[in-house]
Structure 1
Amino acid sequence: MKSKIPNPKTNPALKLADAQCQKAVQLLNKQKYHEAFEILDAILKRQPEHRLAKRSKPVALFHMGQQHEAAKLFHQLHEQDHEDLVILKHCGIAYTAIGAFDLAIRFLSRYVKSNPNDFDAWTSLSAAAGKSQKYVESMMYATKALSLEPTNPVAYNNLGATLLGVNKLEEGEQAFETALVLDKNNVDALSNLATLAQQRGDDEAAVVLFNNLLANLDPNTTFAKEVLYRSSFSHLSTGRLREGWRRYDYGFLPTDLASRTPKRHFQLPQWRGEPLDDKRLLIWAEQGLGDELWLFGLMNEALEHCQNVVMECEPRLVSLMSRSFPKVKVRATNLNPMMAKGSQDFDVHIPVGSLLGLFRNNIEDLQKFKPYLQVDADLVSDFSERLSPFKGKKLLGLCWRSGMLSANRNTHYLSIDELTPLLGLEDCVFVNLQYGDCEEELRRVEQQLGISIVRWDDVDLKNDQESVAAIISCLDAVVSAGTAVAQMAIAVGQKTILFGLKDWVYLGQTNYPWANDVRSFPPDFGKPLTSIVPKIVDEIKFI
């Protein structure tokens, strides 16, 4: 026996729900999302399977800023009907908004196969690919969108953002300016032009452009707060530290890879520097390993304000941090959502990067840094013995690139082949600190120069940070790009020779300002990074 489908003509409750749902849809079209949501939510409490209300509620939630909940509901609808193309598109857009870019690309790619002329879908696909730094794919999707609507400013802005990602600044600028010719008030293009100025190193111009844009935005919107975060780097680069850190605190709102991570949400308040009395403070790690090593250098200053501190850090650093901060409860980062409920061992919390806004508001404050990592004495003894055959030579650690590579990041690194003038110095022995797969590079240079670069098969340079710290402690200096290795060297108090392009962390200073025993070598403006190699050679000669 077949179940009967309710007929609105004979079912007054369904007829009323249909009428109310149509009103809610009209409100959605008028961008009155909260009013629409109230109606849709009420309908679904009475009629949980009302099809149009179920499909419309996540649309309202999405535009109310509740993208995670919207994505969850859209995915539930997708599970009920895998062939529903409208829901496929909504899933893709929602996943882009919450930073689940791989999922977004998967859903939108399926959608455009059936709807190849949907401009919005192609622009969303390009944005998802670009934000996940898949620039080849992003360029392809942006070009397709532009072919569909060659006079749409959104298409040019999307193309420009992709060009910016691969460091094609002039082409990106042309795309943004075209978008503004088509729509002089396009806020995305205006924001991207400010970012472009920032990327060019013209931070004063970027500050002006960002502030002009912000003056015309509602400060309560998520977009305005994201612009504040993106503008923080130019403020910091020009020495406007207090304002820069204030804006930097909005960095968890964006979803792209340039944002602050992880996105943790606590019901307990964030510490803003107020007296804590007997309250318990959680200081939690963010960003990558190098950022943690850099930022936990502020821990001793935090301990002056609170004696009851819990630190969460990378699992690879737990033993090092425990030894270095014996009065602190140190544990591995816990991303369990239940941690946010507050029934834990802390009363207030702060992401470690936000300590900068409390303790580093003037350049003079940077002089407060002191090396803080206490290295395992037994490991130091072990590696000292291993390195004893090279006594009388300068022992130099070497790391030439990060484990994360991209078009922009690669501009900060030199290849090991470009560093051969260093490696060939007769009074030096180099110890490999480069983590990841680099054996082929090492062997090639060794054969070319007739040298041996010291390394040990039983040391995992990526995961065994205790050994990395001990090795660095046994050296005369470390030569490194801006990587976790450089930050480890600084944290243990080792002389560090730092190379790479100058960026916002220089805070407008000539030399890297965060520690005294660092000599930094950025190239002069317009010069290639290889131009600094002779300067590094000269620096090594004076060690």
Structure 2
Amino acid sequence: MTRNLGSGISAAALAAADEAAGQGVHLGLRAAQLGDSASSDSIARLNREARAVRDQQSVKLLNKAIVAVQNGDYANAEKQALKALKKDERTGVAWHVLAVAREKLGDFASSMQCYEAALQLLPSEGAVAGDLGRLAFRLEMPDIAAKLFMHYLKERPGDLEGVNNLACALRDLNQESAAIDVLKPAIQANPEVPALWNTLGTVMCSLGEGRTALTFFDETLRLAPNFGKGHHNRAFARLDLGDVEGALADCEAGIASADSVEDLATMRFAHSTILLALGRVADGWDAYKARLDPDLPGAPHYPMPVRAWETGEDLAGKRLLVLAEQGLGDEVMFANTLPDVIEALGPDGALSLVVERRLIPLFERSFPGIDVTAHRTVAYEGRTYRNAPFVEDWSKIDCWVPMASLLRAFRPTAEAFPPRERFLTPGPGRVAHWKRVLQDAPPGPKVGLLWKSLRLNAERARQFSPFELWEPVLKTPGVSFVNLQYGDCDEEIAYAREQLGVEIWTPPGIDLKQDLDDVAALACALDLTIGFANATINLAGACGAATWLLTGAAAWTRLGTDHYPWYPQARCFIAPNYDDWRPIMADVAQALGEFAK
């Protein structure tokens, strides 16, 4: 399998990282890959590989490189491995050591290339496949990681490291049943290993089975009471079941026992959102700075040439650049503070705004007179970078701020959100255009539907109802359903037509993913939009469109309330847990029936 992968892994890694770079930081279950390319077992394998090299000068260089890896001196390890490769570029173990060194130095793209070279040259590929699989998984390439772990297990059948890692990759591929099949015999044979129970719990969370997941995390922590990942994951299961206080206790226990800087950063970020979900808004925003921690996977780096604005600093007369952050929906939602910021800057101040390029027309119309440009987000060597490349004159800017950092100053409580009709302005001419077009849709109130996010990995999918559970909503008589769902949704539309006898009308002449200014106008032309929190539902809410939002019991964006402070006109339908969406769908169907009368 690995012999024909070639350089495609590295190319895919860069493409996948670039695609994911703009998605923003997201909370994550912590079922980490077992094993470490620089562990004592890995060092022993490298030494065995080095002993097979015939050239003694190369062996001396390799021994120095391996000792450097063992001592954590990865720069020197890189130097010695490169010397060995200069003598003979076909020395597989030298490529392997160089891959480990560069991985530890954070040069992930180059590390992958080195691992690939080692795969081509070493007679035993299993160890390299395991190392490369973990790196691919870290770079959010679970499909390639799964193939590599399968190869690893061919050489080491039943190896618990390989079993756990393969199950994690299968879970992230939405292949939960396959992950369970991999884990079940391993747990039966090794019931004392907490990491396996932990991974099984994350699989059940991905399936939306929070109660079952809770049982497995309980067993994880019975076996290892100070296992930080187990506490963190049990916090997730409790959130899925609506137990926010319990989640807070578990998250804090996880922070106290985190065993890596990445885990600690992830748990601190989760802690901030749990505080927000409890309604401890000021504390939550204070803690929300954890999203910028460089140790947090996916956290962006901002190479800006001016100083950062500090919370509490007077804005009057400042020339401020606000850089939108996180994913597209967050950029829209966090813009709730911008009218207040403009007022605080006053007539002597100036606002420059940097947003996703598709949002520029909408923001220019909404905030006339301010400078609006596009940000650029790229992935490089395993890191995400966002900057403002189209700002022409930085001398006209005093300071900058990531958009969410304004929330502590302007939205310290849920009550601090103003009851504005809207804070973004759709194009009046386009709203009128869509009202005319909608006359061609089937008769009845025009109701837009959104049922998923474009990025539905296993972990995020549990936050959305399976489409077939929309049946009672879709069968509401007298309603004309309009498709607002971006991405590939042909299968769901066909299911509604063929299995339920319901037509979801797709408006002509619009790209629901790219034409965001027009999407905002379309939402405002509809009588109602119903859906889960994704980019389009945020556009509808921010533009003042009538919106019904389906959320989980512990959704942090409600800030501990029973409504959605960001969009005062939005009506919330709150699921008690993620185990069963049927009750909330029944509630929506009943409310829609009354709306349509």
TM-score, shorter chain, exceeding 0.5: yes
How far apart, CA to CA, are the structure 1 residues paired with 2:97 and 2:377?
Answer: 32
Shift of 1:223: 1.6
How do residues 127-526 of structure 1 correspond to structure 2 at under 5 angstroms?
Answer: 127-131=168-172, 133-143=174-184, 145-146=186-187, 149-217=190-258, 221-251=261-291, 263-266=300-303, 271-273=309-311, 274=313, 281-287=321-327, 289-303=328-342, 304-305=344-345, 307-313=350-356, 315-336=357-378, 345=391, 350-367=401-418, 369=420, 371-387=422-438, 395-404=445-454, 405=456, 407-411=461-465, 415-420=469-474, 423-425=476-478, 430-435=481-486, 436-437=489-490, 438-441=492-495, 443-444=497-498, 447=501, 455-502=506-553, 503-523=555-575
SS of equivalent to 2:355 = strand
Are the counterparts in 1 of residues 119 and 129 from structure 2 also a CA contact under 8 Å? Answer: no
1:480/1:216 CA distance change after superposition, 3 Å: closer
1:192/1:431 CA distance change after superposition, 3 Å: closer
1:294/1:261 CA distance change after superposition, 3 Å: farther
SS of equivalent to 1:521 = strand
Are the counterparts in 2 of residues 400 and 434 from structure 1 also a CA contact under 8 Å? Answer: yes
1:209/1:380 CA distance change after superposition, 3 Å: closer
SS of equivalent to 1:110 = helix
SS of equivalent to 1:335 = strand
- What is the Cα-based RMSD across aligned positions, in Å? 3.9
Are the counterparts in 2 of residues 286 and 351 from structure 1 also a CA contact under 8 Å? Answer: no
Map of 1:43 onto structure 2: 80
SS of equivalent to 2:180 = helix
- The answer to whether 1:116 aligns with 2:157 is yes
Shift of 1:62: 4.5
TM-score of the aligned structures, taking structure 2 as reference length: 0.73
How far apart, CA to CA, are the structure 2 residues paired with 1:209 and 1:446?
Answer: 43
Shift of 1:263: 4.2
2:146 to 98, 102, 105: 105
1:419/1:517 CA distance change after superposition, 3 Å: same
Shift of 1:205: 1.2
Amino acid at match of 1:78: E
Map of 2:131 onto structure 1: 90
Shift of 1:118: 2.7
**1:411-465 Cα shifts (integer Å, max 9, x gaps):** 38774421146x314xx655443443254355458956xxx77654334434333
How far apart, CA to CA, are the structure 1 residues paired with 2:416 and 2:468?
Answer: 32
1:475/1:499 CA distance change after superposition, 3 Å: same
How far apart, CA to CA, are the structure 2 residues paired with 1:400 and 1:471?
Answer: 13
SS of equivalent to 1:402 = coil
Map of 2:117 onto structure 1: 79
Percent of matched pairs sharing the same residue: 21
Amino acid at match of 1:229: F
Shift of 1:225: 1.3
How far apart, CA to CA, are the structure 1 residues paired with 2:388 and 2:514?
Answer: 31
How far apart, CA to CA, are the structure 2 residues paired with 1:200 and 1:386?
Answer: 42
How far apart, CA to CA, are the structure 1 residues paired with 2:421 and 2:500?
Answer: 36
SS of equivalent to 2:350 = coil
How far apart, CA to CA, are the structure 2 residues paired with 1:300 and 1:333?
Answer: 21
Are the counterparts in 1 of residues 170 and 179 from structure 2 also a CA contact under 8 Å? Answer: yes
Shift of 1:496: 2.1
2:166 to 112, 117, 125: 125
Deviates more, 1:438-447 or 1:72-81: 438-447
How far apart, CA to CA, are the structure 1 residues paired with 2:504 and 2:132?
Answer: 51
**1:275-298 Cα shifts (integer Å, max 9, x gaps):** 5776662513422x4333322333
Map of 1:24 onto structure 2: 68
Deviates more, 1:127-136 or 1:52-61: 52-61
**1:91-130 Cα shifts (integer Å, max 9, x gaps):** 1112223333333223323332333333212222222333
How far apart, CA to CA, are the structure 1 residues paired with 2:570 and 2:374?
Answer: 29
**1:177-202 Cα shifts (integer Å, max 9, x gaps):** 32233323222212212222122111
Are the counterparts in 2 of residues 285 and 292 from structure 1 also a CA contact under 8 Å? Answer: yes
Are the counterparts in 2 of residues 367 and 515 from structure 1 also a CA contact under 8 Å? Answer: no
Are the counterparts in 2 of residues 318 and 330 from structure 1 also a CA contact under 8 Å? Answer: yes
1:279/1:414 CA distance change after superposition, 3 Å: farther
Aligned residues: 511
Deviates more, 1:14-23 or 1:242-251: 14-23
TM-score of the aligned structures, taking structure 1 as reference length: 0.79
Shift of 1:332: 4.2
Are the counterparts in 2 of residues 293 and 491 from structure 1 also a CA contact under 8 Å? Answer: yes
Larger radius of gyration: 1
Q: Please, which runs of 5 or more residues in structure 2 have no aligned partner?
A: 1-52
Map of 1:529 onto structure 2: 584
Amino acid at match of 2:141: A
How far apart, CA to CA, are the structure 2 residues paired with 1:462 and 1:76?
Answer: 37
**1:40-62 Cα shifts (integer Å, max 9, x gaps):** 24535755548656533543564
Shift of 1:529: 1.7
Shift of 1:317: 2.7
**1:111-164 Cα shifts (integer Å, max 9, x gaps):** 323333332122222223334544334333433643664432211211111112
Deviates more, 1:403-412 or 1:225-234: 403-412
1:383/1:518 CA distance change after superposition, 3 Å: same
Amino acid at match of 1:517: Q
How far apart, CA to CA, are the structure 1 residues paired with 2:217 and 2:258?
Answer: 19
How do residues 61-72 of structure 1 correspond to structure 2 at under 5 angstroms?
Answer: 62=103, 66=105, 68-70=106-108, 72=110
| More contact order relative to length (CA 8 Å, sep ≥ 6) | 2
Are the counterparts in 2 of residues 58 and 71 from structure 1 also a CA contact under 8 Å? Answer: no
SS of equivalent to 1:410 = coil
Map of 2:595 onto structure 1: 540
Shift of 1:83: 5.5
SS of equivalent to 1:517 = coil
**1:260-319 Cα shifts (integer Å, max 9, x gaps):** 9684553656544345776662513422x4333322333333444462413121x43332
Are the counterparts in 1 of residues 447 and 528 from structure 2 also a CA contact under 8 Å? Answer: yes
Are the counterparts in 2 of residues 112 and 118 from structure 1 also a CA contact under 8 Å? Answer: yes
Amino acid at match of 2:277: S
